[in-house]
Structures are given as C-alpha cells and as structure tokens.
Amino acid sequence: MADGKDLAEDEYIVARIAGTKIESGRRYYLIEWEGYDLKDNTWEDESNVFSTEAIKEYKTASKRQNKSSRNPLASKKALLHNTFDPDTGTYTKKMSRPTIIKKAETVVVQTQKRQRDLIETETESVTVSKPVKEARIGMENLSLESKSIFDQKMDLVRQSVPVKYPIVRMANHQLINKRPVYYVKNLKSKVTLINEVDDEIPTNFIYIDQLVYTDPVQPPDPDFLPGCDCSLSSDCSLACHDVNAYDSNGRLIIHQGTAIYECNQACGCSTKCKNRVVQMGRKIPLQVFKTPAKGWGVRSTQFIPKGTFIEEYIGEVIKVEEGDARGAIYDKLGCSYLFDMDFAQSELATKYVIDSYILGNVSRFFNHSCSPNLEVYAVFYDSADNQMHRLAFFAKRDIYKDEELCFDYNGRIDVSVEEKSEDSARYSCHCQAKDCRKWIYH
C-alpha cells in the first residue's frame, strides 16, 4: 500500500488515515483511499501501511480533534470526524469550519485572506479575522520557533506569485474628505481604497484575481468536464439544464444551499451564454474602506439588485490538513482566513481549503453581519470534482449605494448556533444589526 509514485498493480494511494483499532493484539488503520468514496474505506493491518507521514498526520489530527496530548494509538478504537467505519456501516460525527468569511476586525464564519507589500487588510474566511494591529500583537503569543516557521512559509507563498495588481495612489492626488484615494491597478472592474479613520493602508497581502493552487494541490483537470452540445450560444440554459440558476438578466434565482453549475470549456456554447456568470468575473465597482470598530470593510459604489453576482472568494487552495495547521496559528492571532470547499461534506470529507491570508482579492475584506446582504454559494465551472469548487458572493437583497457588503460568518443553514457553540471559539460581534447575536463562532 503506497502513498506516492510508481504504484504496483496491487498498490493504492492513501488519501488519509482516519482511525485506528486493536483486534487480537494487532493494530489496524482505517484507510480512506484517494479517488474512492468513503464507503470504500477499509481497515488495514499496520504491516500493510507504509506511509509514516500519513500515520503522523493521523496522530496530529486526532490530538487536535480531542484537544488532548494523549497518544491516539493508546485507544482500542479511535476515529476521526467526517469518515466512514465499515465495521459499523456508519459515518462519524460531521464537523466543519465556519462557512463564511472573517474579516480584519470582525469575526465571521467564512474564508479570508491576508496581506503583503502592496495593500493590507485583514478579512477572515470561514471564520472571522481581526484587525491587522491586533493580529501583530497576537504574534507575541506564539513561540519564537513557531513564528519563525510560519513567517518562512508565508514568505515562500509571497515569492511564488508575481505582483500583477499593485495598490497605488490615484493620479493627480485625488482626495475624498481630504483623504487620499488608492486603487488596485490593472483590474477590469475598479476597486478603490480609502481610509478616513487613520493613516494605515493594507499592504501585507498580494492582490490576485485567480485561485492559486499550492503543491500538492493540483488545478482541476479539464478533461473530466462534462459539456453540453447546445447551439444556442446566448440561451443554452433553457435547453441544457434541469435547474436554471440565473434569470435572463444573469441574477440568481435559486435558494442558498443549492450549488450552481455553470457551462464550462467543454460546452458548445459561447462566452455569451447566460449560464456563464461567476466565471466572467466581477462587474460591480467596489470600495475598501476603514471602519471605526471593525477594521477594513467593503461597500458598493452603486445600487446592486438582489441576486447580482458580487465577487468570488479568491485565495490560495491548500489541503485541509495544511489548513488545520495554519488555522492553529490564526487562532493565536485572533483571526482566520480559511474557507472550506465543503459543499459535498454530507457525503465526502472536506479535502480543500481556500486561504486568503497572503493571497486574496477584495472579498478578503468582507465583514460579518448577523443581518447580511450577501450570501455564499458553491459554484462549479472548471471542476468535475465535488470536493473542489468555487465560492461566490451574491446579493441577498437589493443593496444601496455606499452600503457595506457583509455576510454571515455563521451562515451555514445546516448547523444551528447551539451546535456551533459547543466546541467553537467565539468572538464578540460588532455588526450593530438589530438582531445581532452578540457572538461569532468558529
């Protein structure tokens, strides 16, 4: 049983070790197989498991799950969350990160991103992030060794991506209320930045407009995409899809919790097809601004009708195990920039996470609100893998000019607040909504 290259015919790749047990004095590991459903999990004698790295990752995950330093191999039987036990024919408890975005000084249950030498902003994802200054203070609580390793890893991420979209000051030194205005250069749809609170400008992340896949994560393979043969270049959704996600104006008409399946490069239709919305990119101009209590936020510079696509959550795509490791650091910083690709979590364990701490777009600044005007949807247009999808923000209602754009970091419709609060960290909420829940969990 292998976990690498040059497989023999009777060898398979281990996706992860999800449990251990002892029977008749022998140890067995519960194996999840790469490319197979969880129901295909098998218990394998330890003599057949050659991956010491997988065993190490299992021990780490088990200790983190149980919040204990106890050796997980000491139990007669122990299972991780989000797996399937063939002995009993049952799934284990499903646990997931918040499915929202956290922001610089606001706690949210979604994905978030980080900063760089261009612009800075602290927005969280699937959890909420705190202000940049607070994050730096939080670094003091880390050991020097942990901080050094973390900084080195983040430096490598920075160096892996060219700066295509720098944050620069407006020409002719344009001012608003005597404050300088900045913008993200080279974007098709404008993003401006202004700070009327202090003199800070977000500069500790790199602005990107496409997902970045970090090794060992690979981009989805287009050869596996199913395509339509529709010849109606502008209206093929009427003929090719059982459920239409958009109306004739390209506005969303399906309920949250339903995935969006757009046409893709394997389809016969053109880019004018009305079932190509998210993949065509943001059309709405936005402004990043400094709030008095929540750090950086985002507002619209024009009226936005209900159902309009706002922006895609963009960042670095990493394995969930790497996300867990980074999340432990972010927790100590009082922030999080992680957003799970967890649409298929009821059937398959979450495999990938988007991290916007170092690499991100304007959505990394979206704040939390208990009464949000944005909703998040899973979108498929370049992947046939249910465990790898896009995350897109749509207007939940009509949004007015200069209104802040927010989503509910605790916005999962399949998890109650009570369930979230059992083993979750929490942050005080500053959304000031009439129905504010006072706390944000992740």
Quick one: pLDDT at residue 417? 42
Residue 94 has what pLDDT? 58
Q: For residue 323, what pLDDT is reported?
A: 92
**335 marked among binding-site residues:** no
Both tokens assigned to 69: 């330093």
Is 406 labelled as part of a ligand binding site? no
| pLDDT of amino acid 376 | 95
Residues 238-268 pLDDT 10s: 566 667 899 999 999 998 888 999 999 988 8
Delimiting residues of CATH 2.40.50.40 domain(s) in the chain: 14-91
- CATH code of 14-91, in short, is 2.40.50.40
Segment holding 237, helix H or strand E: helix 237-240
Give DSSP secondary structure letters for 320-388: HHHHHHHHHHHHHHT--BEEE--TTTTTS---EEEEBSSEE-GGGGPEE-SS-SEEEEEEESS---TTS
Q: Where in the chain is the domain with CATH 2.170.270.10?
A: 106-221+244-411
Q: Which residues, in sequence order, are bridge partners of residue 374?
A: 395
Res 91: pLDDT: 82
pLDDT at 186: 96
The annotation status of 370 as a binding-site residue, yes or no, is yes
Domain covering 106-221+244-411: architecture: Beta Complex (2.170)
User: Which H or E run includes 132?
Assistant: helix 132-138
| Among the listed residues 371, 364, 373, 362, the one whose alpha carbon sits nearest the alpha carbon of residue 431 | 371
Provide the pLDDT for residue 355.
95
240 annotated ligand binder: no
| pLDDT given for residue 397 in this prediction | 97
**pLDDT for the residue numbered 378:** 95
Q: CA 103, 302, 114: angle at the middle one, nearest 5? A: 20
Chain segment 376-420, per-residue pLDDT in tens? 999 999 999 989 999 999 999 999 999 999 998 875 433 334 444
**pLDDT of res. 216:** 94
> For the chain, how far is it from start to end, CA to CA, in angstroms?
36
Letter for the amino acid at 20? Answer: T
Residues of the chain falling short of pLDDT 50: 3-4, 68-70, 96-140, 412-423
pTM of the model: 0.67
CB 26 within 8 A of CB 45: yes
C-alpha distance from residue 78 to each of 16, 40, 43, 46 (Å): 14, 18, 12, 15
pLDDT at 97: 42
Phi-psi region of 7 (alpha: psi -120 to 50; beta: other; left: phi over 0): beta
* Residue 273 known to bind ligand: yes
